[in-house]
Chains A and B, each alone.
Chain A
Amino acid sequence: MSAWLLNGLVAVPFAFAVLTRLLARREAAAVGLAVLGGLVTLGWSVAAVLVPGPDVDVPWIAQLGVRWHLGLDGISGPLVLMSTLVVALCLVSLVRHDPGCGGRAGLAALLLLIEAGVLGSFLALDMVLFFAFFEVALIPMWFVINGWGDPHDEAGRRRAATRFLVFTVLGSALMLVGFMIVRSQAGTFDIVQIAASYRPSGAAGVTAALLVGLGLAVKTPLWPLHIWLPDAHSKAPTVASVVLAAVLLKLGTYGFVRFWMPVTDPGWRLLAPFVAGLAVVGIVYAALACLAQTDLKRLIAYSSVGHMGFVVLAVSTFTVGGVQAAVYASVAHGLITGLLFFLAGAIKDRYGTGDLARLSVLYGKVPRLAGLFAFGAMASLGLPGLAGFWGEMLAIRAAVYPSSGLPAPTYTVLAVIAAFGVILTSAYFLALMRGMLQGAPAAVRPVNEEVPSIELATREVAPGTVEAGALRRDVDVMEWLTWAPLVALTVLLGVAPGLLLGPVSEAAKAYFGGLP
Chain B
Amino acid sequence: MSWVLLAALVVPFVTAAVTLFTGHRSDVAAKGISVGGSALGLVLAWVVALAHLGDAPPLAHVFTSTRTVGPPIELAVYVGPLGAAMLILATTVAFLVQVYSLGYLADDPRYPSYAALVSIFTGAMSVVVSADDLWLLLVGWELMGACSYFLIAHHWELEDARAGAVKAFLITRTADLGLLFAIFVLGDRFGTYRLSTILRVITEVAVPRDGLWLPALLLAVAVIGKSAQVPFHTWLPDAMPGPTPISALIHAATMVAAGVFLVARTYPLFLSSPSTLTFLALVAAVTMFLAAVYAMVTHDLKRVLAWSTVSQLAYMFGGLAAGAWSAAVLHLLAHGAFKALLFLAAGSVVHAIGGATSMDVMGGLRDKVPDTFVTMTIGFAALAGVVPLVGFFSKDAIIHAAWEEARHGRLVWPWVAWLLVVSMVATAALTVAYSLRAWLLVFFGDGPEVVHDSPATMRVPLVVLAVPTALGGLAVTVPGIIGGAPGEHLVHWSTSVLMTLLVVVTATLVLVLYRRRGRAMWGPVVVPHPPIDWVWDRFLVRPVRWLAVLVRAGDRDVIDAYADGAAASARGIGGLLRRTQTGSVQGYLMVVVVGATAIAVAAGLLA
Task: Mark A residues whose CB is within 8 Å of B.
Answer: 159, 162-163, 166, 224, 227, 230-231, 269-270, 273-274, 277-278, 280-281, 284-285, 288-293, 319-321, 324, 361, 363-364, 371, 374, 378, 383-385, 389, 393-394, 396-397, 400-401, 406-411, 413-414, 416-417, 419-420, 422-424, 426-427, 430-431, 434, 437-441, 444, 446-448, 451-458, 460-463, 497-498, 501-502, 505-506, 516
Let me know if B552 is at the binding interface, CB within 8 A: yes
If A291-B548, A453-B358, A505-B67 touch, whether A430 touches B303 (CB-CB below 8 Å) is no
CB-defined contacts of A462 to chain B, threshold 8 Å: 109
Give the complex CA separation of A270 and B602 in angstroms. Answer: 9
**B-side contacts of A427, CB under 8 Å:** 170, 544
Contact A447 B603 (CB under 8 A): no
Are the C-beta atoms of A414 and B156 separated by less than 8 Å?
no
Q: Kindly report which residue of chain B lies nearest to residue A368, judged by CB atoms.
A: B24
Say whether, besides A424-B544, A452-B357, A455-B240, A498 and B64 are in contact (CB < 8 Å): yes
Check B68–A324 contact: CB distance below 8 A: yes
Assess the A422–B177 pair: CB atoms within 8 A: yes
Interface assignment of B562: CB less than 8 Å from any CB of chain A = yes
Is there contact, CB below 8 Å, between B143 and A454?
A: no
- CA A506 – CA B549 in complex, angstroms? 44
Contact of B180 among A393, A411, A417 (CB under 8 A): A393
Additional 16 contacts, C-beta under 8 A, given A451-B355, A452-B299, A460-B107:
A281-B597, A288-B552, A320-B69, A393-B180, A394-B68, A407-B601, A407-B603, A410-B600, A410-B604, A427-B170, A430-B170, A438-B157, A440-B159, A451-B356, A452-B358, A454-B241
10 closest cross-chain pairs (CB), A and B = A407-B604, A410-B604, A498-B66, A277-B597, A452-B358, A291-B548, A462-B109, A438-B156, A448-B355, A292-B552
Q: Which B residue sits closest to A449, measured CB to CB?
A: B355
> Are B157 and A319 touching (Cβ within 8 A)?
no
Cα distance A457–B105 in the bound complex, in angstroms: 10
Q: Could you tell me the dominant secondary structure of chain B's interface residues?
A: helix
- In chain B, positions 273-305 with a C-beta closer than 8 Å to chain A are 299-300, 302-303
Q: Is B158 engaged at the interface, CB distance under 8 Å to the other chain?
A: yes
**In contact, B555 and A505 (Cβ under 8 angstroms):** no
Cβ < 8 Å to A, chain B residues 553-607? 555, 558-559, 562-563, 566, 590, 593-594, 596-598, 600-601, 603-605, 607
Contact indicator B174/A423 (Cβ below 8 Å): yes
Find the A residue at minimum CB distance from B146.
A383
**Which A residues touch B67, using CB under 8 A?**
498, 501-502, 505-506
B153 interface residue (CB < 8 Å to A): yes
Return A371 CB to nearest CB of chain B, in Å.
Answer: 7
20 A-B pairs, CB-CB below 8 angstroms? A277-B600, A281-B594, A383-B142, A384-B141, A401-B70, A419-B177, A423-B170, A424-B544, A426-B169, A431-B166, A434-B166, A441-B157, A444-B157, A451-B355, A451-B361, A454-B357, A455-B240, A455-B244, A456-B155, A505-B67
Chain A, residue nearest B108 (CB): A460
Indicate if the CB atoms of A274 and B597 lie closer than 8 Å. Answer: yes
Give Cα distance in the complex from A513 to B122, angstroms: 45
How many angstroms from the CA of A284 to the CA of B592 in the assembled complex? 13
Main SS class of interface, A: helix
Query: Chain A contacts of B303 at CB under 8 A?
Result: 454
Q: A502–B74 Cα gap in the complex (Å)?
A: 12
Partner of A409, one of B549, B566, B590, B604: B604
Q: Are B604 and A501 in contact (CB under 8 A)?
A: no
Contact of B544 with A446 in the complex, beta carbons under 8 Å: no
CB of A288 within 8 A of CB of B596, answer no
Instruction: Give the chain B neighbours of A406 by CB distance below 8 A.
Output: 604
Provide the B353-387 mask, 1 if CB < 8 A to any CB of A, else 0.
01111101100000000000000000000000000
Smallest CB-CB separation from B127: which chain A residue? A385
Nearest B residue (CB) for A434? B162
Answer whether residue B408 sits at the interface, using C-beta atoms and an 8 A cutoff: no
Whether B600 lies near A288 (C-beta < 8 A) is: no
Residues on the A chain within 8 Å of B597, using CB: 274, 277-278, 280-281
Q: Which residues of B contact A446 (CB under 8 A)?
A: 158
B172 to chain A, nearest CB (A): 10
Contact B69 A410 (CB under 8 A): no
Tell whether, in the assembled complex, residue B66 and residue A502 are in contact, meaning their CB atoms are under 8 Å apart. yes
B51 within 8 A of A: no
Closest A residue to B166 by beta carbon equals A430
Quote the shortest CB–CB distance from A15 to chain B (angstroms).
36
Contacting residue for B360 out of A280, A410, A452, CB 8 A: A452
Shortest beta-carbon distance from B180 to chain A in Å = 6
The docked-state distance in angstroms from the alpha carbon of A438 to that of B155 is 9
Chain B residues whose CB sits within 8 angstroms of the CB of A516 once the complex forms: 69
Instruction: Evaluate contact between B139 and A385: CB separation under 8 angstroms.
Output: yes
| Cα–Cα, bound, A285→B586 (Å) | 12
Instruction: Tell me the bound Cα distance from A458 to B110 in angstroms.
Output: 12
B residues 123-148 in Cβ contact with A at 8 Å: 135, 138-139, 141-143, 146
Picked from A281, A409, A452, A505, the residue with its CB within 8 Å of the CB of B607 is A409
B interface residue numbers (CB < 8 A to A): 64-70, 73, 107-110, 113, 135, 138-139, 141-143, 146, 149-150, 153, 155-160, 162, 166, 169-170, 173-174, 177, 180-181, 184, 187-188, 240-244, 299-300, 302-303, 350, 354-358, 360-361, 544-545, 547-552, 555, 558-559, 562-563, 566, 590, 593-594, 596-598, 600-601, 603-605, 607
Q: Which of B69, B162, B549 contacts A505 (CB 8 A)?
A: B69
B601 touches A385 (CB 8 A): no
List A contacts of B173 (CB < 8 A).
422-423, 426
Pairwise interchain contact B146-A455, C-beta atoms closer than 8 A = no
* Given known A-B contacts A419-B180, A422-B177, A460-B108, A319 and B552 have beta carbons under 8 A apart: no
Distance, CA A424 to CA B170, complexed state (A): 9
The answer for the CA separation of A319 and B173 in the assembled complex, in Å, is: 28
Contact B361 A452 (CB under 8 A): yes
Residues of chain B lying within 8 A (CB to CB) of residue A288: 544, 547-548, 550-552
> Within the complex, what minimum Cβ distance (angstroms) separates B14 from chain A?
12
A279 to B180, CA, bound (A): 20
Chain B residue contacts of A437, Cβ below 8 A: 156
Interface contact A461-B356, CB-CB below 8 Å? no
Instruction: State how many angstroms separate the Cβ of A454 from the closest Cβ of chain B.
Output: 5
Partner of B549, one of A292, A423, A447: A292
Q: Which residue of A lies closest to B359 (CB)?
A: A452
Instruction: Let me know if B603 and A410 touch, CB within 8 A.
Output: yes
Q: Which residues of B contact A434 (CB under 8 A)?
A: 162, 166
CB distance from B18 to the nearest CB of A (A): 15
- Would you call B177 and A423 a contact (CB within 8 A)? yes
Complex Cα spacing A166 to B562, Å: 11
**Given that A227-B558, A289-B555, A498-B73 are known contacts, is A460 also in contact with B605, CB under 8 Å in the complex?**
no
Contact of A430 among B169, B300, B594 (CB under 8 A): B169
In the bound complex, what is the Cα–Cα distance between A293 and B303 (angstroms)?
36
Smallest beta-carbon distance B107→chain A, Å: 7
Q: Whose C-beta in chain A lies nearest to the C-beta of B551? A: A288
Contacts of B607 in A (CB 8 A): 407-410
Do B157 and A458 touch (CB < 8 A)? yes
A291's closest neighbor in chain B, by CB? Answer: B548
Q: Taking CB as reference atom, which chain B residue is nearest A416?
A: B181
Q: Is the CB of B174 within 8 A of A455?
A: no
Chain A residue contacts of B73, Cβ below 8 A: 497-498, 501
Task: State the Cβ distance, A285 to closest chain B Cβ, in Å.
Answer: 6
CB nearest neighbor in A for B246: A455
Closest to A462 in B: B109
In the assembled complex, how far is the CB of residue B151 from the closest CB belonging to chain A, in whole angstroms? 12
Q: What is the CB-to-nearest-CB distance from B171 to chain A, in angstroms, rounded to a whole number?
A: 10
Residue among B73, B153, B547, B548 with the most chain A CB within 10 A? Answer: B548
- Measured CB to CB, the closest approach of chain A to B602, in angstroms, equals 8
Residue picked from B184, B361, B607, most chain A C-beta under 10 Å = B184
